[in-house]
Amino acid sequence: VGTFHRAGVSRWVPGLKPLARLVGRRMEVRVAVSEAARETGVKSAGGEYEVLFNGVDVERFATAVPTPTDDRPTVLFLGRHEARKGLGVLLDAFAQVERPAVLWVAGDGPSSEVERRRHPESGRVKWLGLLSDEEVAARAAGADVLCAPSLRGESFGMVLLEGMAARCAVVASDLDGYRSAAGGHAELVPPGDVVALSRALGATLADVVEGIGKSGPEALKAAEAHAQGWSMEHLAECYVDVYERARQRFRARA
């Protein structure tokens, strides 16, 4: 059984395609974590794929003790600090948001130093550094909005589902993997569009204050229920079935 995660074909793929096809032919079942990953797998290695998903530890986020905040709504970024993840776009967009709010920036990476120089620690921007799994869940539970501003290469929107499980409103880039995971429960904007992201954040923060829209109680509850459908427990059940079919196919050929 092989599982494909990547979205988008890199420049090195054509040269490795013969090897990828050879390895693929030895698999009884091929699984992709999203439709975007399936398309990449077909282009890279050929064959047929079942589309499942990446499992989310829903319970960890749903039961986390929230990190305390002040009286301003809080936006959370979770991700590696590299160009592809769009942190620079988020920082520029948040700087244009006039509404009182706080941005929590978790994680680190090759672009951390540059972005911290551009947007230093302040009353509005808090650099959290690397967090433990428990701290990530606590920050998500304490935040009002989770923002995933990635520019490309996201085959699946696990971070969106984690935010939903923590009852955050979600603002994210309109990428295939994110759109599939969001299921209509997130505000999606064009990747890399600072103005559009700023407007979406401003509108979502206004909804947080008013308790309406995707930040209203019913909307947050519906998003949380949506995330439950992508839980680790559900995924494990799916993979038990996948491996059983793979076993049967192998025995039939033996």
pTM as predicted: 0.79
C-alpha pair distances (Å), 43 with each of 11, 20, 31, 197: 12, 10, 14, 32
C-alpha pair distances (Å), 51 with each of 38, 71, 173, 217: 7, 42, 22, 31
Give residue-wise pLDDT tens across range 200-218. Answer: 999 999 999 999 999 999 9
Give residue-wise pLDDT tens across range 45-73. Answer: 777 888 877 788 999 999 999 999 999 99
d(CA 133, CA 27): 33
* Confidence (pLDDT) at 8: 55
Give residue-wise pLDDT tens across range 139-197. Answer: 999 999 999 999 998 878 999 999 999 999 999 999 988 998 999 999 999 999 999 99
d(CA 42, CA 25): 12
- Alpha-carbon 65 to chain mean position: 21
* Confidence (pLDDT) at 235: 83
Give residue-wise pLDDT tens across range 73-111. Answer: 999 999 999 999 999 999 999 999 999 999 999 999 999
Give residue-wise pLDDT tens across range 244-253. Answer: 888 887 788 7
Dihedral of CA atoms 158, 159, 165, 168 in degrees, nearest 10, equals: -150
Q: Do 56 and 232 form a contact (C-beta atoms < 8 A)?
A: yes
Give residue-wise pLDDT tens across range 11-44. Answer: 545 555 554 555 556 677 888 877 777 877 777 7
Mean of per-residue pLDDT scores for the chain: 89
d(CA 155, CA 159): 12
Q: Do 156 and 180 form a contact (C-beta atoms < 8 A)?
A: yes
